Copies of this chain bind each other. A is one copy, B any other.
Amino acid sequence: MDLRRLRYFVAVAEARSVGKAAERLRMAQPPLSVQIRKLEAEVGAPLFRRGTRGMDLTEAGQALLARAGEALALAADGVEAARAVAAGRRGRISIGYMFALANAVLPRLIPELRRSIPGVELHFAELSASTREARLLDRSVTVALCMPAINHPEIQVARVGAQPLMLAMPIRSPLSRLGAVPMAKLHGRPLIALPRPEQDPASSAVTALLRRHQVVMPIASRVETVHSAMSLVLAGEGFAILPACAKLGAPQGIVFRPLRDATDSIDVAVCWRRDSHSPLIRTFLKCAEKVVAPM
């Protein structure tokens, strides 16, 4: 079965004439006549009744016509859908993000995306840092919102903003009465730490900050996520040094205070596979920049 034959068939059926159909198809009449007869040979039955005033579908022809039109439309639609996906007008983008950014970014990011790419299905997944990396690599997420960026040769990174580091503590802590906490006050206090520097440069910003101010904080616990860190802070296990936006997801009873004399910040980045060329990624990046930069 050849789609061209079906197209010709439909044209002849609609024109009820080989000659008229040939004209509409911008071709000569004899080859069209030949193609129709070949189609009839392939089906094994006449599809048209030849009269002296044109052609007319037989019952078998009507049965074929009903499906042929749909098949043509479906094939055309398939090509169009592929083009739309390739152009980023349709399709889906799966977005991995971290808990700490959810409340700060998503409420503004989602409407922005809906405006830019209305035909695109959006998927969101809150993922830990290591899962974000794994799922970027296996393509089960298209882009990841990270803080800080993922460091991997296959993964491309674009910085879209930064978040100052702040001290998170229980409201009952005496330090919470200060407007800004001097670094020196942290010395010796227990720290809730995020993953090790070599796995996640996030905590390296914190260790660099402490080292520069010659502050030593014993590590009370290590946790995987910002969320866990805040739970432990609330439980009184210690202090955490977190990006400012985490405040928006913090439970009652935790307060954030700036660190006096410390302008350290941590980058917010969009990450994606180097070999993903979907235009949706560019669009997503633009939206993320617009939303994150002013924070």
Residues of A within 8 A of B (CB): 1-4, 6, 42-47, 49, 58-68, 70-72, 74-79, 81-87, 90-92, 275, 278
Of B3, B64, B81, which one neighbours A2 at CB under 8 angstroms?
B3
Give the CA-CA distance A65 to B77 in the complex, in Å. Answer: 11
- A75 and B1 contacting across the interface, CB-CB below 8 Å: yes
Give the CA-CA distance A85 to B58 in the complex, in Å. Answer: 10
Given contacts A63-B91, A71-B71, contact A275 B49 (CB under 8 A): yes
Known: A43-B82, A45-B87. 20 other contacts (CB 8 A): A3-B3, A3-B6, A6-B78, A45-B83, A46-B86, A47-B82, A59-B85, A59-B91, A60-B85, A62-B85, A63-B78, A63-B81, A63-B84, A63-B90, A64-B81, A64-B82, A65-B78, A67-B75, A68-B78, A71-B72
Give the CA-CA distance A103 to B150 in the complex, in Å. Answer: 84
Of B3, B43, B44, B85, which one neighbours A1 at CB under 8 angstroms?
B3
| In the complex, chain B residues whose CB is within 8 Å of the CB of A275 | 49
| In the complex, chain B residues whose CB is within 8 Å of the CB of A64 | 78-79, 81-82
Copies in the complex: 2
Given contacts A49-B275, A71-B71, A78-B71, contact A83 B43 (CB under 8 A): yes
> What are 10 A-B pairs with beta-carbon distances under 8 A?
A3-B6, A46-B86, A49-B275, A63-B90, A63-B91, A64-B78, A64-B81, A67-B75, A70-B74, A71-B71
- A67 and B74 contacting across the interface, CB-CB below 8 Å: yes
Of B44, B67, B85, which one neighbours A77 at CB under 8 angstroms?
B67
- B79 and A1 contacting across the interface, CB-CB below 8 Å: yes
Give the CA-CA distance A46 to B276 in the complex, in Å. Answer: 12
Among A6, A61, A63, residue most surrounded by chain B Cβ atoms (within 10 Å): A63
- B71 and A75 contacting across the interface, CB-CB below 8 Å: yes
| In the complex, chain B residues whose CB is within 8 Å of the CB of A83 | 43-45, 60
Of B58, B67, B77, B81, which one neighbours A78 at CB under 8 angstroms?
B67
| In the complex, chain B residues whose CB is within 8 Å of the CB of A86 | 43-46, 58-60
| In the complex, chain B residues whose CB is within 8 Å of the CB of A68 | 75, 78
- A74 and B74 contacting across the interface, CB-CB below 8 Å: yes
Among A72, A76, A81, residue most surrounded by chain B Cβ atoms (within 10 Å): A81
Give the CA-CA distance A91 to B58 in the complex, in Å. Answer: 11
